[in-house]
Amino acid sequence: MTPKANPGDEFFKAYTAAVHAKDLDAFVSLYDDTVRIFDTWDRWSHDGLVAWRTMALEWFGSRGTDRVVVDVSDVRSSATPDMAHASAFLRFTAVDPAGKPLRSLENRITVVLERRGAAWKVVHEHTSAPVNSEGLKAMLKREPA
Amino acid sequence: MTPKANPGDEFFKAYTAAVHAKDLDAFVSLYDDTVRIFDTWDRWSHDGLVAWRTMALEWFGSRGTDRVVVDVSDVRSSATPDMAHASAFLRFTAVDPAGKPLRSLENRITVVLERRGAAWKVVHEHTSAPVNSEGLKAMLKREPA
């Protein structure tokens, strides 16, 4: 049985909502206990949900009264009965309490999901920015199409 | 039926051998026609096998008489009947014709594979280096454990 709703699409909806609400429990509930994360920033990996929860706690806590709007584009996904994956580009925009955009950056994201009973959980996530081979700086904005 | 050999492990063996041999056909045969690659270097994505083949042609062609040894570590993978995934750290070491190491760098890799008849093909690959949030430079060496 192929799932009716695409688990990748469902993930992006729930991820976007949890980040905007700074809802730690909703955010953490998307991930499996054994998750391995290759995140864009500063570390080679976060292993397990406790480590990933700590990252989210610091991220949401560091926002003050701002919020983060996540725009998801160019989603590609596929699903089988017990495993699914999705990839996309994310734009993270910090907005002030009045909704005014302050700054933004872009990432690439890959998620791999496995079925756990009725739910789907992310068992692996990989976010990154490409590296400019001249100067080795991260590219944090996509070129206009 | 769960596959006997883990498709992720098989991928890393074949990838390592193809890169060392600079064998373009063997390399390209690991990927699906529709593959989407989020590669470490310079571009946000390579879409489709023609684009990815062009990257490999340039990569292998730029090596001269050197070869690239790929060391794979900390593989984590899972497989279901029709989809599998694996993640790992890769060390790429350029070696001269006498086998002397010249330079090396490290990456993270994620692959998602789908069954195509008897074969498994990579439908999505994501390689990257973490970004140091102070200075926005790519981190191309893992810290000693």
pLDDT tens for residues A46-84? 999 999 999 999 999 998 999 999 999 999 999 999 999
- Percent of chain A clearing pLDDT 70 (strictly above): 96
Which pLDDT score, from 0 to 100, does residue A49 have? 98
Q: CA A29, CA B1: separation in Å to the nearest integer?
A: 30
Which pLDDT score, from 0 to 100, does residue B144 have? 56
Q: Which residues of B touch A110 (CB under 8 A)?
A: 38, 110, 112, 124, 126
Please give the DSSP secondary-structure letter assigned to residue B143: P
Which pLDDT score, from 0 to 100, does residue A1 have? 45
- Yes or no, beta carbons of B42 and A112 under 8 Å apart: no
Q: Is B47 helix (H, G, I), strand (E, B) or coil?
A: strand
Q: Which domains does chain A have, with CATH numbers?
A: 7-128 (3.10.450.50)
Lowest mean pLDDT among A139-143, B50-54, B136-140: A139-143
Token code pair at residue A29: 């509930």
Residue B4 is inside which H or E element, if any? Answer: none
Q: What is the 3-state secondary structure (H, E, C) of chain A?
A: CCCCCCHHHHHHHHHHHHHHHCCHHHHHCCEEEEEEEECCECCCCEECHHHHHHHHHHHHHCCCCCEEEEEEEEEEEEECCCEEEEEEEEEEEEECCCCCEEEEEEEEEEEEEEEECCEEEEEEEEEECCECCCCCEECCCCCCC
ipTM topping 0.90: yes
Q: Are B77 and A95 in contact (CB under 8 A)?
A: no
Q: How confident is the model at residue B5 (pLDDT cuts 50, 70, 90)?
A: confident
Nearest to B124 among A36, A89, A110 (CB): A110
- Yes or no, beta carbons of A112 and B114 under 8 Å apart: no
* Single pTM value for the model: 0.95
